[in-house]
Structure 1
Amino acid sequence: MKHDKLAKHGSRNPAIRAFLQLPRFHKRVVSVLSDAFFLFFAIWAAYALRLEQHLWLPNQEQMTVAAITVAFTIFIFIRLGLYRAVIRYLGDRAFLTIIYGVIASSISLIVLGYLLQVLVPRSVPIIYGALAFLFVSGTRLGVRMIVNHPKQRAKEVVAIVGAGETGMQLASALVQGTEYRPVVFVTLDRANHKSMINGLPVVSINHIAKHLPKHGVQRILLALDENTQIDRKKLLKQLEPLSIPVQTVPSMSELVAGQARINDIRDLEIEDLLGRDPVRPDSAVVAKSLYQKSVMVTGAGGSIGSELCRQIIRHCPRTLVLFEQSEFSLYAIERELSSINQIEGLEVELHPLLGNVNHRRRCETVMRAFGVQTVYHAAAYKHVPLVEHNVIEGIQNNVFGTWHTAEAAIAAGVERFVLISTDKAVRPTNVMGASKRLAELVLQALAQRQQKTVFSMVRFGNVLGSSGSVVPLFRDQIRDGGPVTVTHPDIIRYFMTIPEASQLVLQAGSIGVGGEVFVLDMGEPVKIADLARKMIHLMGLEEKTEDDPDGDIEVVFTGLRPGEKLYEELLIGDDPQGTSHPRIMMAREVSLPWEQVEDFLNLLQRASQTFDCSAVIEVLKNSKTGYAPNGDLEDLVWCNSQTSVTKAEHQDDKKVRRLSV
């Protein structure tokens, strides 16, 4: 569509179209003839201006000098490669070539005048040189403008936020591209307001609401230098009311590493939507706990597990064991890590293994075979509604999977075992949260039962960008034209990014001494409805409301899902303890002795084996997890089975009544 538009614009002038369709040799001939004409004209104009004779006519000797000078100049231009330059992409190098050629031409005019004893006043070569440069470069600039103008007009008009090195690189790349036309820089420094950079005006961020409509901006591109100290939350708050799509460009580190190009425009980073500074790990502590160690990640193909693997491999462990139930997920992460391993020369032994965390003997055999020293247990079912609908499988994977993997770690002599938990484990109202809290209790009890393996747990909020995150869901709904679905107007959640979550897990794994529950200081919780509206506005659209029925995207509230809470918490108590990391706290959680936990596990095991979901719920309620369901049992198989039993009993009653009659 866009290319058709370009072709249409370019075809409006038949002369331009005919010139562009000429063979390369013919274009060079036209350029030579044009330069020859303007060089002759420059010599005549130089004499006319010097002698102040508007109708000045050269004599035969002066014509000879002019002809030789022009021929010599054309030869110099050819030798310097001026006619090999494509005019529509003319750059600084071409103008330097013209300057060198013009200087040589002016000197040749002086030398020829001296050798042939022809009158050449001293100021004529200077005037000629200036005019020759203007004519030769000017004609090329004119042609470039005529050729490129229709294409430039057809591009989408953009503003670049950031007038530093990254912004200027982006502007240069976009000018040469085919999609975007930068028209204005937005600076974060008030002192640069109303200045010019590369011919583009610079306006302050404080005046953006007035200037962007004035320039007809259709898209905003963030090109902030990495060392720029800026409150990104405040910046997005200023951009959001404009309802213009906001996108970003790769960071300088990605450009240097060759992972992206400057004009790789993409949607806002999830970190930008988070509205707070990301948590930075203590790299030295993490590196010490991983370097040349044998590490195993369960659920290695999941969103958290795969990011853990990416972080771990760069700390150069000796061995990295990828334990995953899904064949495709394991294949994908193994290929990605092998590529990183090869490109960065890390020399890490990668072992992709299919397996189920419920198979204790398989887990123990794997840990013994590769001498595993640290286990990161990321394998879990974490989607609240799905676990509500599949209670037995959720319990088997989240509770018994954790127990069996932990027992295998103890038997295999693993040094550290880190569980990835969730904020939904705090005063849970759903089976998923209760199962994760029970998994925490299992590890706390195991930490008390033995001393060989150090168990620790990491509890955090919703992970932006993970398979269950609302951000990709909202983004897809907005692109599909809406509506954006939110469960409740007042629902709030804590958020963090996948890299943050993974770094926190690694940090906790390195500082834990046994049985701790680590939580992240995640700042203020985010209102989901506000996040949805922010995404609508930052994608350049308006929310459709009763006050604005002509808006683009409507936010629809669908009601809380089974087991869902309005508010999530990270702590059961109110007295967290600090750690060596300023943003990581240690929760003071109540734990149970192993004998009591084992009794609950045995009851849960019997209830699961008989597929008695109501008994499972009762065990969860009584197992000191704080589980208080906010709805009825929603297991799909159980509910349908009970319905079938009720129907059968009803039919039997009817049959008995008929027989008695």
Structure 2
Amino acid sequence: MRVLTYMKPRGVARSWTVSGFDLAAVLCCWCAAYLLRFNFAVPPDFMRHGLMSLLWVLPVHAVMFRYFGLYKGMWVFASLPDLMRIVRAIGASIAIVIVVATFLRGNTPVPRSVLAAFPIFLLVAMGGARAMYRAWREHRQFGALAAAGKPALLIGGGDAGLNVMRQLRCSPEWRLVGVLDDNASKHGREMMGLRVLGRVDELAAWAAKLQARHAIIAMPSASAETRKQIFATCLKAGVHPLVVPTLAETMRSGERSAAETGTFREVRMEDLLGRDPVAIDCPYIDSMVGGRVVLVTGAGGSIGSELCRQLALFRPARLIAYDASEFALYKLVEEFSVRFPEVPVLPVTGDIRDAAWLDETFARHAPALVFHAAAYKHVPLMEDENAWQAMTNNVLGTWRVAKAAAAHRVPKFVMVSTDKAVNPTNVMGATKRLAEMVCQVVQSEAPDTQFCSVRFGNVLGSNGSVVPKFREQIAAGGPVTVTHPEITRYFMSIPEAAQLVLQAATMGKGGEIFVLDMGEPVKITNLARDMIRLSGASEDKIRIEFTGLRPGEKLYEELLADNEQTLPTHHEKLRIAQARAADPVIIEEVLAWLRAGRVTGAQEIKRELRRWVPEYAPYLRPNLQVVGAGERAAEGG
């Protein structure tokens, strides 16, 4: 039989110890106030009265200290809130002391100067003791780290910068050596012992002087353009930047990079785009998605999976994830079981060209909203050897999904399109233009469903995009391969693209082609150089090689065809393209050709595409010389 013993908690014993110290401080400060008042020669009557007053002064302070919770905190973590509690407790105590002293004046009252000096002495004693204890403990624990850690410059002297200073004060990994801020009034001053050295554009000089190879950017509320300029300054100076995440990033679970350390993260490529966060009409999207069944085709892909994540934030009744890849669906379901356990996700494996299975899926689940993201999108792969698959998947597959939605009277259908559908030079772009036309034709036949398409350019980090490819090449030591020195692309982040697709869905009335504001085009060569610098390497170690344009590639992408105009919407990043109307006869001819039961070669497909999509101009491979890093200057890069 075990005997249960009770041990007094250490916290309670410590509380009484601290309480005893505070009462001792009251005693000492009361006596010190008397000594100061009488110049260290206290008359006997005043001395006797002062000591007798302690019989009620001490209990008053003991009660007030407990009442204001002075012993809930720990001295080792003493901070401004603890000091404010001390101020309130002393203030309440001295108010009671003054009242009681007034009633007990007698022949030898408590001198007014004692009542004025005593609380000041007590505040200094109690607050100072706690501050000194914390400083002693921190020096004892972390004093050896003061000269350790990697030297880093802090960019930003605001509230976020102060938080970084506090956290890194005891860090074994980092050692802040100075602050840079563009506010001239702060220059030359100190913040928590760190000097504000100068402006941000002086980073290179200070980094060289202080031998700092890292910069921590503590400006989470700065505009995207400002942050982009700071990143460029860091890269130009050869300083590796780390970022304090924005509030939106810290609230989004699972969004942080594995490279993050503590409260910082590595700079991502989307940071270098200089794009401000998207503002979306959450109430409209919530009314469209919340409590409804939503179906996403291509749900395992980069765009489809991000659409699912954004949709999950609005709590659909059920999310139908439709994809041909069972592994992609498995990964999506596993992720959602952790991040969005409250959202029912039903994985459906299937090909969008399977009309019977699509009909069964729509009949069983009755979706109220369909996002069609399934497509073959890789330009070179779809250009020659797989042109037939691009035609059947992108055109016939879109038609079958759209017809299933129309047959089951789905209220909204949104197709994810691409900028490569504008004046296409490749099979993929031409098939996506035909897919847009398919949606317009089905719209004319199905007034109960609102069909719309959303065009946007490349998304950073999507499957098959240049960013993962460059990352792998840099990790392998190079070279980084770029097709052409002058090639440019429009880019946006995957979350931004998905959010704007949701926004477009709320605006679609039927038949529109929405165009996203992709910002300024990005030169791929500059993107490669930024990624090399962000990795901590230089172009001397990792070369850039130009390999020549691949089949179907353009030098410059477009978001609107030459003969198209756009109309504004109430959202600044969305416009409506005034594309030429789709001809139902052409679409019927295309579909009959695709359903004829014979596989057609790439040349015949391109010939037919030129007839069906007049703006399609097939790619002709130029004779480009492949150049290496040593020839960049000659190429103008």
Pair in the same fold by TM > 0.5: yes
**1:381 and 1:588 mapped to 2: Cα distance?**
25
Q: What is residue 393 of structure 2 aligned with on the other side?
A: 397
Tell me whether 193-202 or 147-156 shows the greater mean CA deviation. Answer: 147-156
Q: How does 1:42-57 map to 2 (within 5 A)?
A: none
| CA 194–256 in structure 1, closer or farther in 2 if over 3 Å, else same | farther
Q: What is residue 590 of structure 2 aligned with on the other side?
A: 600
Q: What is residue 288 of structure 1 aligned with on the other side?
A: 287
* 1:137 Cα deviation from its structure 2 partner: 8.8
* Alignment-mate amino acid for residue 156 of structure 1: K
**2:339 and 2:303 mapped to 1: Cα distance?**
18
Q: How does 1:148-547 map to 2 (within 5 A)?
A: 148-202=142-196, 203-226=198-221, 231-255=226-250, 263-342=262-341, 348-388=343-383, 389-537=385-533, 539=534, 541=536, 543-544=538-539
3-state DSSP of counterpart to 2:575: strand
| CA 553–86 in structure 1, closer or farther in 2 if over 3 Å, else same | farther
**1:382 and 1:598 mapped to 2: Cα distance?**
24
* 1:424 Cα deviation from its structure 2 partner: 1.0
Unaligned 5+ runs, structure 2: 1-61, 67-72, 88-113, 623-637
3-state DSSP of counterpart to 1:428: coil
**1:486 and 1:356 mapped to 2: Cα distance?**
34
Tell me whether 334-343 or 597-606 shows the greater mean CA deviation. Answer: 334-343
Asked if 2 retains the 8 angstrom alpha-carbon contact of 1:243 and 1:542, the reply is: no
Among 578, 597, 613, the alignment partner of 1:588 is: 578
3-state DSSP of counterpart to 2:543: strand
* Alignment-mate amino acid for residue 295 of structure 2: M
3-state DSSP of counterpart to 2:336: helix
**1:534 and 1:268 mapped to 2: Cα distance?**
11
**1:316 and 1:97 mapped to 2: Cα distance?**
43
Asked if 2 retains the 8 angstrom alpha-carbon contact of 1:455 and 1:512, the reply is: yes
Per-residue CA deviations over 1:301-347 (Å, capped at 9, x if unaligned) read: 1111111111112223333211122112212222333444446xxxx
* Alignment-mate amino acid for residue 217 of structure 1: A
**2:254 and 2:417 mapped to 1: Cα distance?**
32
**1:414 and 1:133 mapped to 2: Cα distance?**
70
Asked if 2 retains the 8 angstrom alpha-carbon contact of 1:320 and 1:349, the reply is: yes
Per-residue CA deviations over 1:427-451 (Å, capped at 9, x if unaligned) read: 2222211221121122222223332
Asked if 2 retains the 8 angstrom alpha-carbon contact of 1:88 and 1:143, the reply is: no
| CA 478–265 in structure 1, closer or farther in 2 if over 3 Å, else same | farther
Indicate whether 1:557 and 2:546 are aligned.
yes
Per-residue CA deviations over 1:363-389 (Å, capped at 9, x if unaligned) read: 122112222122100011111122234
Tell me whether 578-587 or 406-415 shows the greater mean CA deviation. Answer: 578-587
Asked if 1 retains the 8 angstrom alpha-carbon contact of 2:487 and 2:524, the reply is: yes
* TM-score using structure 2 length: 0.74
**1:440 and 1:239 mapped to 2: Cα distance?**
43
**1:230 and 1:156 mapped to 2: Cα distance?**
28
**1:377 and 1:95 mapped to 2: Cα distance?**
59
Asked if 1 retains the 8 angstrom alpha-carbon contact of 2:487 and 2:525, the reply is: yes
* Alignment-mate amino acid for residue 192 of structure 2: N
3-state DSSP of counterpart to 1:375: strand
Asked if 2 retains the 8 angstrom alpha-carbon contact of 1:300 and 1:330, the reply is: yes
Per-residue CA deviations over 1:548-588 (Å, capped at 9, x if unaligned) read: xxxx3322212111211111111113542223232212112
| CA 93–396 in structure 1, closer or farther in 2 if over 3 Å, else same | same
% identical aligned pairs: 38
Indicate whether 1:624 and 2:613 are aligned.
yes
* Alignment-mate amino acid for residue 233 of structure 2: Q
Tell me whether 396-405 or 216-225 shows the greater mean CA deviation. Answer: 216-225
* 1:627 Cα deviation from its structure 2 partner: 4.1
* 1:463 Cα deviation from its structure 2 partner: 0.6
* Alignment-mate amino acid for residue 231 of structure 1: T
* Alignment-mate amino acid for residue 333 of structure 2: E
Asked if 2 retains the 8 angstrom alpha-carbon contact of 1:248 and 1:269, the reply is: no
* 1:155 Cα deviation from its structure 2 partner: 1.2
Asked if 2 retains the 8 angstrom alpha-carbon contact of 1:518 and 1:587, the reply is: yes
* 1:87 Cα deviation from its structure 2 partner: 11
**2:506 and 2:159 mapped to 1: Cα distance?**
38
3-state DSSP of counterpart to 2:486: coil
* Alignment-mate amino acid for residue 377 of structure 1: H
* 1:405 Cα deviation from its structure 2 partner: 0.8
* Alignment-mate amino acid for residue 451 of structure 1: P
Q: What is residue 3 of structure 1 aligned with on the other side?
A: none
| CA 181–88 in structure 1, closer or farther in 2 if over 3 Å, else same | farther
Per-residue CA deviations over 1:115-151 (Å, capped at 9, x if unaligned) read: xxxxxxxx9x99x999999999999789768763443
**1:185 and 1:356 mapped to 2: Cα distance?**
56
Asked if 1 retains the 8 angstrom alpha-carbon contact of 2:443 and 2:451, the reply is: yes
* 1:257 Cα deviation from its structure 2 partner: 6.8
| CA 170–260 in structure 1, closer or farther in 2 if over 3 Å, else same | farther
* 1:353 Cα deviation from its structure 2 partner: 1.5
Q: How does 1:64-75 map to 2 (within 5 A)?
A: none
Asked if 1 retains the 8 angstrom alpha-carbon contact of 2:369 and 2:412, the reply is: yes
**2:179 and 2:255 mapped to 1: Cα distance?**
22
| CA 338–141 in structure 1, closer or farther in 2 if over 3 Å, else same | closer
**1:516 and 1:130 mapped to 2: Cα distance?**
70
Q: What is residue 636 of structure 1 aligned with on the other side?
A: none
| CA 223–531 in structure 1, closer or farther in 2 if over 3 Å, else same | same
* 1:260 Cα deviation from its structure 2 partner: 8.2
* Alignment-mate amino acid for residue 582 of structure 2: L
**2:470 and 2:213 mapped to 1: Cα distance?**
22
* Alignment-mate amino acid for residue 353 of structure 1: V
**1:378 and 1:228 mapped to 2: Cα distance?**
31
**2:133 and 2:271 mapped to 1: Cα distance?**
44
3-state DSSP of counterpart to 2:453: strand
Asked if 2 retains the 8 angstrom alpha-carbon contact of 1:192 and 1:204, the reply is: no
* 1:244 Cα deviation from its structure 2 partner: 0.9
**1:456 and 1:134 mapped to 2: Cα distance?**
66
**1:187 and 1:298 mapped to 2: Cα distance?**
48
